[in-house]
Amino acid sequence: MKIALITDQHFGVRNDSLHFHDFFAKFYKEFFFPYLEEQGIDTIIELGDIFDRRKYVNFDTLGRCRDYWFDEIVRRNIELHCIIGNHDIYFKNTNRVNAPSLLLGEYPNMRVYDTPTEVTFDDTEILMMPWINNENYDKCMSMANETDATIMMSHLELTGFEMYRGAVNDHGLSHKVFEKFDLVCSGHFHHKSSKDNIHYLGSPYEMTWSDYNDDRGFHIFDTEEKSLTYVKNPYRMFYKVFYDDTEKTEQEILDQDFSHLENTYVKVVVKQKNNPYLFDVFIDKLNLNLPTHLQIVEDNFNLDIEDDSDIINEAEDTVSIIKKYIGNLNLDNAKPIEDLFYDLYHDALSIE
């Protein structure tokens, strides 16, 4: 049996942006569901964070994601298993009040897991592990230790894994806690990564500039072979265009094809600009292709850096800077303040 695994869909991201709804709809209707139909897959496990906001859901967002996700699943007679993530819950210390259970109860083919639950697919037993908090910690640890399942699907916060490219998480549980399992798949961190038996699957699409040039997609789990197959999302939202009128002729600059930039976020990185008129014509042509957002960056400090990974390696991420600042305050208990700034930072990333 083959099961599609997807996580961190974050419906309503970027302040319920219509551009992102269109971007999501294109992915699901033109790629995700056709792929499942082609492969004969009729079961999906969603590993948490269906919705973006913890406190409320925009009615327009709910209507739109019903159209391109939940109603499409019913129409195709697909079975959906949803593991509760931290963005799905209203209170941080309990999973009992969660958006999927409250908003999506009328879907007969959908099952929500807000407590650790063993589920069997064919002959393969899988432990569904939701977001672990103060209320359910003991039960989650007990289930993880006592279960006979060798596979776990989850929404975990583990130390030592990249939250997004270049930013390593330094708090949460050790991945050694779950070393008894042959395979652990998790949502939560949007960057796809693996260590030992732990696999963070990553989000299915780009949502912020932190995701730029970082592969996005979903996975197929084969219950017979106990294997994961990665399926890359062919669509992108964020692009960088480099401008240098010393490296290309005027004709080469103006002949560039920008049709793929329609409805996307674009940064024009200016490395060398000796002909202001040519640059204006270049920008006008780019705008004719109707990008959603266009930003011009004068790259005066990194002219010798061609690869974005070089910039990432040379700079500290925002979370590290915040933690270093708080650490220098020499507080008796800095953890609650770190957590508060961490939440505020990720809320800020979602603002359009």
Q: What residues contact residue 251 under an 8 Å CB cut-off, 6+ apart?
A: none
Q: Is the four-CA dihedral 217, 342, 58, 70 of positive or negative sign?
A: positive
Q: Residue 107 and residue 332: Cα distance in Å, rounded?
A: 49
Query: Rounded mean pLDDT of 21-48?
Result: 98
Question: Tell me, what's the pLDDT at 304?
Answer: 47
| Average pLDDT in the chain | 91
Percent helix, strand and coil across the chain, each to the nearest 5 = 35, 25, 40
pLDDT of 235 > 50? The answer is: yes
At CA 258, angle to CA 252 and CA 264, rounded to 5? 150
Distance CA 238, CA 319 (A): 22
pLDDT of residue 314: 44
Q: Work out the pLDDT band at 166, boundaries 50, 70, 90.
A: confident
Helix 335-349 to helix 318-327 angle (10° resolution) is 150
Kindly calculate the radius of gyration of the chain based on its CA atoms and give it in whole angstroms: 22
pLDDT tens per residue, range 113-165: 999 999 999 999 999 999 999 999 999 999 999 999 999 999 999 999 999 88
Res 299 pLDDT > 90: no
Q: What is the pLDDT of residue 315?
A: 46
Range name among 28-32, 192-196, 264-268, 302-306 with the lowest pLDDT average? 302-306
- Three-state helix/strand/coil letters over 11-78: ECHHHHCHHHHHHHHHHHHHHHHHHHHHHCCCEEEECCCCECCCCCCCHHHHHHHHHHHHHHHHHCCC
Count CB-CB contacts under 10 A for residue 62: 18
Helix (H) / strand (E) containing 254:
helix 250-254
Q: What pLDDT is attached to residue 180? A: 97
User: Which pLDDT value is given to residue 346?
Assistant: 64
- pLDDT bracket for residue 317 (50, 70, 90): low
What is the residue type of 255?
D
Task: Determine which of 13-27, 227-241, 288-302 has the lowest per-residue pLDDT on average.
Answer: 288-302
Q: Residue 104: pLDDT band by 50, 70, 90 thresholds?
A: very high
Label residue 40 left, alpha or beta by phi (over 0 means left) and psi (-120 to 50 means alpha): left
148-182 per-residue burial string, b: 16 or more CB within 10 A, e: under 16:
ebbbbbbbbbbeebbbbbbbbbeeeeebebbeebe
Instruction: Give me the pLDDT at residue 82, please.
Output: 98
- On whether the CB atoms of residues 268 and 283 are closer than 8 A, the answer is yes
* Range with the poorest average pLDDT among 23-27, 104-108, 339-343: 339-343
